[in-house]
Structure 1
Amino acid sequence: MASGFHAGLEPARQDYPEVTHVSHGYGHHYQQPQPYYSQPYDPPAVPAPKPDHPAAPTPPSSYGGQTVASPFSAAAQPAGAQPEPPARTGRTIFGCSVLVFILSCIIAILSAAVIGLAAATGIEAQRASSASASLDALSASLASGASATASATGAASTAVGIIDDGCSSDPSSVDGTLYTSFSLLGALKFTRYCNKDAPNPPLLSLFTANFGTCMDACAAYTKYVPATSSDSDGGGNTTADADTICQAVSFIPAWTNKLTAERGGAPGNCYLKGGPQNETGLNVPEIGVDCHAAIFTPGV
């Protein structure tokens, strides 16, 4: 028994795995021991030990969120995994990309240029229209002025024609024709001659409205001027002296205007002349303006 017992004793085995402790922060990791020598049989599987303490929860952030998990905690990403970088976004200006902003600026500049060109064109068109209107108004004014001048000239010519009985406008129709003075002045007859001047010094100068009233004045002179000499026939009758009778007149139409007459040094436009007077004795006017004559023609 005893010998059998001793015979059955075997020495204690020394190839059991040795437990080693490796500290990794919050947990423990057990390293599989290696045998000192090769074993003729497979060792029994040893289950992985559980950590003594569960992973501590992620403490809340002081800014209201959760803090990033520790790389040694269970929430940490697996070894070798790299976080994806955030997507890169292009630069923006006022919420638009740089290219869109540049294109918008170009479009705005072109639009402003077009609007400015249109405004300038409109202004120039308005100026051209205004200048054209002014030119039309000036042309109309000149035309009306020319018409007014022509009208005034025509009116003046017509007025002169009335003043000189038509001697200035149509002398051939007046030369040699008779004029009869006012009936209350004796209805004396006078023969008219255009562009002629009666000779002899004037008996009287005065202003008359026209050629006709100048001849009326000549008849009045003959009627109202008393005789300067008389021949007694025993019956008390007197005859007028030839020098007291108006025998002719010289009429200057331009001097009907007293200012013109004053500048010409003329005391009137109608000059009464004494005799003798006849057609052959008439003179050509040399006073620088038109002058017409009339000779008293009795017995006609």
Structure 2
Amino acid sequence: MKTLYRSLFFIFILMIIGFGVYNYSKDNEMGQNQPPIPPVPDQTKYRLKLYFGSSNNNRLVSEERVIISDELQEEKLIIEELIKGPRNRTLKASIPEETKLLSIKTIDNICYVNFSKSFLDSYRWDLMNEAITIWSVVNSLTEIEQIQAVQFLIEGDRVGAIEKYYSLKEPFYRNEELFKKEVITPFDTFNVFLDYLRTGSYDNAYRMLSKTSTEKLDFLKFKLNMGTYIRELRDYEITKYQTQKYSNKVILLVTYEKKSTAIGNLDNEFMESWQMIYENGEWKIVMPI
């Protein structure tokens, strides 16, 4: 009888073991057929120091923001935030919002930023905008310790001048001077004034006049006169200039020469003078009235 009980107990144990092995193999088989569960991405807390144009767009102003993101490349995050623009409404955006970041990579301490062509095509460029845009990107990226310079690419290529002031063929290094108010010469001011006229930004050009000029010359008359003036200049380019300084003013002597592409019976060269005064920390143009 005891032998019978032992036999039954042994069979019972074998059944339990067999049932366990069967269930384990089935669970293992089902697990192999299930798609893997992707890991939850780790999010990183970034403290970014971004640079945008000041309210007058004549210097860089920093804006700090904290971003929690699963983006592993801090350089990419910086450019994406710059494209979004400043959160402080008194600051100016430095990159056209239509711009697309195609790629970004840091090699040997140089960050290669590859923008879409809209970076150049959708912007109103002048001397100050170019400087602010370039060093907004450069100074923001060089906040990262291992980045010493930034090389701009447009759809994978190095290009010449954005407009006519800066070339993008070589890398740019950090510029601390733009954190202060940029000092613009009378000739720089005059060039910006002409750029505004050429692009029809008469309101911006009018703001560059001295106080006495705006008091004596209303905007509509200014727009009419300057429209005629800038059309007469379209076949000429500045070849040289001279600055004469006096106690309370500057006389800018500008020489124009006819472009090689000009058509018609035009003078080959002519000279004109512009009077400028320094008001409220800026050079202002005195209109001949």
Structure 2 length as normaliser, TM-score? 0.28
Structure 1 length as normaliser, TM-score? 0.27
The structure with the largest alpha-carbon Rg is 1
